């Protein structure tokens, strides 16, 4: 297999500093057939765990090309903040919503109750 294309999907990251690295996203397009797809997936899993990164391995097929939606839990998964709290700050109710989030994180509220209260 050979790498055909590399796309940086996130902003440029400084790699030459000691500062904490931010989140980044890179897509590789590789042609060819792996000799052992299961072994390749196992190696990707091992590397992902070792480096604390997410790796998605997808065969380029008509099915994949026609479906391009990725859904993530945005509670500090891709960014270093609770998105619902950031939206609340922008709406002028940040302190109230942050307090509810803290109660939910402490187990004082279940998810449905906290979600409804924050909305």
Q: Write the pLDDT tens digit of every residue in 35-65.
A: 998 999 899 999 988 888 888 887 777 776 6
Same domain for 100 and 57: no
43: exposed, middle or buried (Cβ count in 10 Å: 0-12, 13-18, 19+): middle
- Full residue range of the structural domain in which residue 13 is found: 2-66
Residue 111 pLDDT > 90: no
**78 falls within a domain:** no
Confidence of residue 67 (pLDDT cuts 50, 70, 90): low
Distance CA 79, CA 96 (A): 21
Give me the number of domains the chain comprises: 2
Last residue of a domain, one of 26, 41, 66: 66
Same domain for 59 and 99: no
Q: Which residues contact residue 80 at a Cβ distance below 8 angstroms, ignoring those fewer than 6 apart? A: 23
**44 falls within a domain:** yes
What's this model's pTM, rounded to 2 decimal places?
Answer: 0.43
**73 falls within a domain:** no
Last residue of a domain, one of 25, 41, 66: 66
**76 falls within a domain:** no
Q: What's the average model confidence in pLDDT over 58-85?
A: 69
Same domain for 40 and 6: yes
Distance CA 31, CA 2 (A): 6
Distance CA 68, CA 56 (A): 13
* Chain centroid, CA 99 distance in Å: 25
The average confidence (pLDDT) of the chain is 78
Residue 99 pLDDT > 80: yes
Q: Write the pLDDT tens digit of every residue in 5-19.
A: 777 777 666 666 555
**51 falls within a domain:** yes
């Amino acid at each position: 297999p050979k790498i055909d294309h590399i796309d940086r999907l996130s902003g440029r990251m400084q790699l030459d500093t000691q500062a904490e690295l931010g989140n980044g996203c890179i897509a590789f397009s590789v042609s060819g057939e792996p000799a052992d797809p299961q072994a390749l997936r196992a190696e990707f899993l091992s590397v992902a765990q070792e480096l604390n990164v997410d790796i998605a391995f997808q065969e380029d097929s008509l099915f994949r090309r026609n479906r391009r939606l990725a859904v993530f839990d945005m509670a500090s998964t891709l960014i270093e903040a609770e998105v619902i709290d950031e939206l609340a700050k922008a709406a002028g109710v940040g302190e109230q919503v942050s307090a509810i989030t803290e109660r939910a994180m402490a187990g004082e509220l279940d998810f449905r109750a906290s979600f409804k209260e924050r909305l």
